């Protein structure tokens, strides 16, 4: 029994760590991640860029907004717009962003999934890269799924949603379903783990076997 205890301890030591949650925030919530009242200002998501002629301030937060044409139910996320009545000051693409922090996590293992919607056509992307998913001009009646599994960097990343205002009103919505990554401490590949575990077990066995052989 004493022989197997160090073996078990060695194997547990070599087992990879479980995934760690990434902190993300749905649209339509306050700083406590609780849905705000319709027409109220929301937290976390901010305006990154606006089309020429727009008067909305970069860095401003959107307001909760909804019309019957948009998909629901709004339980943990909500539609938001740059104005309490859903009107933008100009036509064209408005891009909102959510900053996420991967400090202490391995960015190559990060995966974030969810659904989003835009009025009118739009996209979702990571760190200004290629679009991960897109929506059509009048596809705001049903959510569009997205999955982000590459392009992450260490530290701060941004998830960006663009919506084309093809005529007021205009709004967007994001709801996350999962977000996690492994801890940033180096974790061996499965083959490396097997080799290391085999070496530990072999060493312990030989030590124990040599003790048996020396007995009279």
Note the pLDDT of residue 34.
98
Q: Which segments within the chain are labelled E, that is strand?
A: 20-21, 46-49, 63-64, 80-81, 92-101, 111-119, 122-126, 131-135, 144-148, 156-165, 171-181
Q: What is the pLDDT of residues 115-155, one digit of tens each?
A: 999 999 999 999 999 999 999 999 999 999 999 999 999 99
The stretch 61-71 carries a mean pLDDT of 98
The stretch 184-192 carries a mean pLDDT of 55
SS3 101: strand
Does 216 score more than 80 pLDDT? no
**Domains in the chain, ordered, with CATH?**
18-181 (2.60.120)
Which residue's entry shows tokens 């027409």?
Answer: 39
Note the pLDDT of residue 185.
78
Q: What is the pLDDT of residues 105-115, one digit of tens each?
A: 999 999 999 99
Note the pLDDT of residue 158.
98
CA 161 to chain centre: 13
Does 46 score more than 80 pLDDT? yes
Does 181 score more than 60 pLDDT? yes
Does 63 score more than 60 pLDDT? yes
Note the pLDDT of residue 6.
47
State the Cα–Cα distance between residues 216 and 208, nearest whole angstrom: 15
CA atoms 195, 199, 200, 201: torsion sign? positive
Question: In this structure, what are the phi and psi dihedrals at residue 198, rounded to the nearest 5 degrees?
Answer: -65, -40
The terminus-to-terminus CA distance of the chain in angstroms comes to 22
Higher model confidence: residue 99 or residue 185? 99
State the Cα–Cα distance between residues 19 and 6, nearest whole angstrom: 26
Q: Dihedral of the CA atoms 66, 69, 70, 71 (nearest 10)?
A: 130
Do 135 and 122 touch, CB atoms closer than 8 A? yes
Q: pLDDT-based confidence at 201, cuts 50/70/90?
A: very low
Note the pLDDT of residue 164.
98
CA 179 to chain centre: 4
CA atoms 129, 134, 138, 144: torsion sign? negative
Q: What is the pLDDT of residues 7-44, one digit of tens each?
A: 444 444 444 557 999 999 999 999 999 999 999 999 99
């Amino acid at each position: 029994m004493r022989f197997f205890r160090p073996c078990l301890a060695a194997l547990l030591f070599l087992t990879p760590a479980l995934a760690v949650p990434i902190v993300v925030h749905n649209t339509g919530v306050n700083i406590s991640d609780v849905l705000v009242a319709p027409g109220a200002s929301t937290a976390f998501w901010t305006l990154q860029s606006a089309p020429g002629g727009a008067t909305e301030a970069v860095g401003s937060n959107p307001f909760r907004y909804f019309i019957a044409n948009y998909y629901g139910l709004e339980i943990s996320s909500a539609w938001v717009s740059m104005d309490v009545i859903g009107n933008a000051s100009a036509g064209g693409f408005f891009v909102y962003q959510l900053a996420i922090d991967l400090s202490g996590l391995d960015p190559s293992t990060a995966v974030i999934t969810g659904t989003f919607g835009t009025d009118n056509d739009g996209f979702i992307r990571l760190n200004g890269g290629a679009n991960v998913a897109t929506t059509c001009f009048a596809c705001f009646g049903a959510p569009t799924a997205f999955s982000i599994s590459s392009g992450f960097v260490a530290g701060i990343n941004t998830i960006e949603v663009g919506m084309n205002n093809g005529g007021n009103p205009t709004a967007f919505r994001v709801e996350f379903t999962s977000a996690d990554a492994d801890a940033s401490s180096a974790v061996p590949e499965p083959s490396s783990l097997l080799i290391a575990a085999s070496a530990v077990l072999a060493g312990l066995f030989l030590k124990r076997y040599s003790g048996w052989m020396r007995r009279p």
